[in-house]
Structures are given as C-alpha cells and as structure tokens.
Chains A and B, each alone.
Chain A
C-alpha cells in the first residue's frame, strides 16, 4: 500500500521543480496583486469623481471576468492585437495579478473605511498632507482589518497558479500532468490517483505555509496595536 503511495525519486524531482515554478508565479503575481490592491483600493476613495469611477470600472471588470478567461485572453488574444509577444510567465503573472488586484482593492477599501473618522479629522487638525495621512495614520490602522481577508485571497491566488500550466508554464500542475502521460515510460509503481494525491498534498503544504505566515503577521500587528481593536 505504502509503496504505491510514495512516488519514485525521479517523480519527486519533477514535482519539486514544478513547485519552484509555482512558488515563483505565486510570488510575482501576489506582488503585482498587492500593489494593484493598494493603488485601486485608495483610488476608490479618492476625492475626484473620475478617479473613483475609473477604479470601479477596473474592479468590476477584473472581478467579473473569470481568471482562466483572462489568462487565455492575455496569452492568445492580446499579443496579436498589440503585435507583441508575451512569455507564458508574463501572461500568467499579469492575469493572476490583475485578478487579485480587483478583489484586494475591495479589501483595502473596506479596511480604510473601518478606520474611525476621528483619525482623519485629527490629521487635518495636525495639518498633515494627504500622503502623510494615508501612509502614517490611515493605512497602518487599516492593516489589522486587511490582513485576514488578504490571507484568504493569497490562498485563492496560490490555487489559481495551477491555471498557468494550461499556457505551457511547467509548474506543479504541469509536471503532474506530464508524469501521468509519461508514467509508462518511467515505470513508476504508483497509480494515477496516488500521483494526483501527491500533487494535492504539495499544494496543501504550500497553502498551509502561506496561512501560517499570515497568522504570524496577524498576531504581530494585533500585538503592536496593543489589542486596541
């Protein structure tokens, strides 16, 4: 039973290589997604009406269209339209990042709105600039509200990275599919179900790691705010 569950060292090497690509896609797309979240989350509360409208259009569009459709569009439709070529990595990171940014912008907006009005009034009384208010007063206090849903969002993106295998990026999902097809060649004793279960466990470990890191930061921010919230 157990020898059917454990794959050959060769297979694990492939899965490990795929995991590295998955982590890379995850890091890049969450970095882009976080930047877009902050930018559009703040823009949705801008005093100028046209900025707010523009930000809403982005949020509705990028949330409404499905991640997989956006990914295929980025990879197959955008390059001929603009006469450019995108590597699978760039197309994947763009699609996942843009998708995450729309959900994240709503989270950031909610976090900012949860900061008591008096804080803004105090910064006005102290003659702070808008930038100072945002960077030193409002955003730091919004973080405890933002972190938990952001952690969930990161898990969604981690799972979403599996989609890049469909545009030929050799991530974990790609490697496991390749192993299934080539299994006869490498004569692995493990069955196909076990192959997939191993891949699922890989993803589960990655997700638990992300959750643990977020849990650590959540505890730290709560502590640094002295449990005021």
Chain B
C-alpha cells in the first residue's frame, strides 16, 4: 500500500478536529490534576499518621496501575453503582486523578526543597498553619515544582488518546474510525502521529527552558 495524498488531505480536517478534542481533554485534565495533586501532597504530609497513611496508599495504588483500566473503571463500572459519566468527563477525571498522583510527588519535592529556616521563621512569627502554608511555604514550593509539573503535562497529553477506548472523539478515535470504514490506516495514523510530534516536541523544549528558569536547588 502506498501513501495517498488525496485521501490524506481529504481526511486531515477530521484528524485535526480530533486533535483539538484531545488537547481540550488534556487542558481540563491538567487543571484537575494540579488541584488533586496539591490536596494529595498536603494530605500526605499531614502530621497525623491516620490521615497521611491512607493518602500515601491511594497515591501509590493509582500510580502503579494502568490508566487504561482506571478509565474502564470510571466508564464501565461506576454506572453499576449509580454514577454515570459521559465519555469526556470520564476521561478528564481519569487523567486528573492519575496525573494528580504524579503532580503530588512534584509538589512534595518542591515543598521538601523549601529551606528549613522558613518553617522555623513561621513558628517564630507565630503564624498559623494556614498562613504558613498559603503565604510562606507554597509560594516558594510551587515555582520549583513547575518543570516537573510541565513534564507531567506533556506526558498527560500523550496519554489523552486513551480516551478513544471509552469513545471520546479525540485524534486516535477519529483515525481509527476513518481507518475502519475505509480500510486505510496508514494516512490517518501517520497524520495523528505527526500532529503529536508537532505539539509535544515544542512543549518538551518549553519545559526544558522552564527548567533553566525554575527547578529544584541542587
């Protein structure tokens, strides 16, 4: 089989439209992951063992199991207990939870990187727990977490086409459905891969530049 330009050009708009859906899912998933990650990171650092331990277990469990099965769980299993999610929300929740656990590790490294003296100074100034976190620790911890968070953003983008398995009409879904109706996968899948490179390589370069600006103190 050889490459058919006419077919490729004709189908490109559909693939590009699918790509926009994939990007949309990634943006929403990342917004959720940033919030979930922060909650998980703070929960894990709770001084009470009975709070910290379950957080740790949940992070470890979600991190060490495949996103694919987690998506299936959200989409196929939850309706049985009365929670029905549409494909797109299921994908966004799946990405947000899965990468939230990764983000929590990035935040944790950022928090650990804040100098000990900052904590001691907060205690000396008699700042409350909330003030200490919100005004002293996090404003210093989050900038150092940015490059790691950026890496997870790119990684999430590459996992977003998994949505095609729960019928989110993203880039892979489009490529597969055009392929199955025309028996031509070469053009559609190649264009999908090309569009991925077009987004993810510049994104990775941007993250590397961020590493120069922020990043953990070595």
B62 to chain A: closest CB distance in Å?
9
Which residues B160-210 have CB closer than 8 A to chain A?
Answer: 160-162, 165, 171-172, 175-176, 179, 185-186, 189-190, 192-193, 196-197, 200-201, 204
B74 to chain A: closest CB distance in Å?
9
**CB contact between B196 and one of A64, A80, A180, A192 (< 8 Å): that residue:** A64
Per the bound structure, the CA–CA distance linking A176 and B175 in Å amounts to: 26
B207 to chain A: closest CB distance in Å?
12
Known: A72-B189, A208-B64. A66 touches B158 (CB 8 A): yes
Which residues A146-192 have CB closer than 8 A to chain B?
Answer: 155, 159-163, 165-166, 173, 176-177, 180, 191-192
**CB contact between B73 and one of A65, A68, A196 (< 8 Å): that residue:** A196
Per the bound structure, the CA–CA distance linking A72 and B77 in Å amounts to: 26
Q: Are A64 and B204 in contact (CB-based, < 8 A)? A: yes
- Decide yes or no whether B68 CB sits under 8 A from chain A: yes
Q: Are A61 and B65 in contact (CB-based, < 8 A)? A: no
Q: Are B76 and A180 in contact (CB-based, < 8 A)? A: yes
Q: Are A80 and B201 in contact (CB-based, < 8 A)? A: no
B78 to chain A: closest CB distance in Å?
7
- Collect the chain A residues with CB atoms within 8 Å of residue B165's CB: 166
User: Please, which residue of chain A has its CB at the minimum distance from the CB of B162?
Assistant: A68
A174 to chain B: closest CB distance in Å?
10
- Decide yes or no whether A122 CB sits under 8 A from chain B: no
Known: A64-B197, A68-B172, A81-B1. A192 touches B80 (CB 8 A): yes
Known: A68-B162, A77-B186. A200 touches B61 (CB 8 A): yes
- Decide yes or no whether B216 CB sits under 8 A from chain A: no
A51 to chain B: closest CB distance in Å?
21
Which residues B122-172 have CB closer than 8 A to chain A?
Answer: 157-162, 165, 171-172
Per the bound structure, the CA–CA distance linking A165 and B66 in Å amounts to: 12
Per the bound structure, the CA–CA distance linking A227 and B210 in Å amounts to: 33
In the complex, per-residue mask of A67-90: 1 if CB is within 8 Å of any chain B CB, else 0? 111101100110011010000000
Q: Are A196 and B77 in contact (CB-based, < 8 A)? A: yes
- Collect the chain A residues with CB atoms within 8 Å of residue B175's CB: 72
User: Please, which residue of chain B has its CB at the minimum distance from the CB of A159?
Assistant: B66
User: Please, which residue of chain B has its CB at the minimum distance from the CB of A67?
Assistant: B158
Q: Are B161 and A162 in contact (CB-based, < 8 A)? A: no
User: Please, which residue of chain B has its CB at the minimum distance from the CB of A199?
Assistant: B69
A111 to chain B: closest CB distance in Å?
16
Q: Are B80 and A162 in contact (CB-based, < 8 A)? A: no
B152 to chain A: closest CB distance in Å?
12
**CB contact between B61 and one of A72, A162, A204 (< 8 Å): that residue:** A204
**CB contact between B69 and one of A73, A192, A200 (< 8 Å): that residue:** A200
Per the bound structure, the CA–CA distance linking A176 and B160 in Å amounts to: 22
Known: A80-B185, A191-B80, A196-B73. A73 touches B193 (CB 8 A): yes
Known: A65-B193, A81-B186. A176 touches B69 (CB 8 A): yes
Which residues B37-72 have CB closer than 8 A to chain A?
Answer: 61, 63-70, 72
Q: Are A69 and B76 in contact (CB-based, < 8 A)? A: no
Q: Are B72 and A177 in contact (CB-based, < 8 A)? A: yes
- Collect the chain B residues with CB atoms within 8 Å of residue A81's CB: 1, 186
- Collect the chain A residues with CB atoms within 8 Å of residue B197's CB: 61, 64-65
Q: Are A66 and B196 in contact (CB-based, < 8 A)? A: yes
- Decide yes or no whether A60 CB sits under 8 A from chain B: yes
Some 11 contacts from A to B, beta carbons below 8 A apart, are A60-B201, A65-B197, A68-B159, A69-B161, A177-B72, A180-B76, A191-B80, A192-B80, A193-B77, A203-B64, A204-B65
Q: Nearest 10 A-B pairs (CB), nearest first?
A: A66-B158, A207-B64, A162-B66, A76-B185, A80-B1, A193-B77, A159-B66, A196-B73, A162-B68, A64-B200
* Additional pairs, 20, CB under 8 Å, beyond known A63-B200, A69-B189, A191-B81: A64-B200, A64-B201, A66-B158, A66-B196, A69-B171, A72-B185, A73-B189, A155-B64, A159-B64, A162-B66, A162-B67, A191-B77, A192-B76, A193-B78, A196-B72, A196-B73, A196-B77, A200-B70, A207-B64, A211-B64
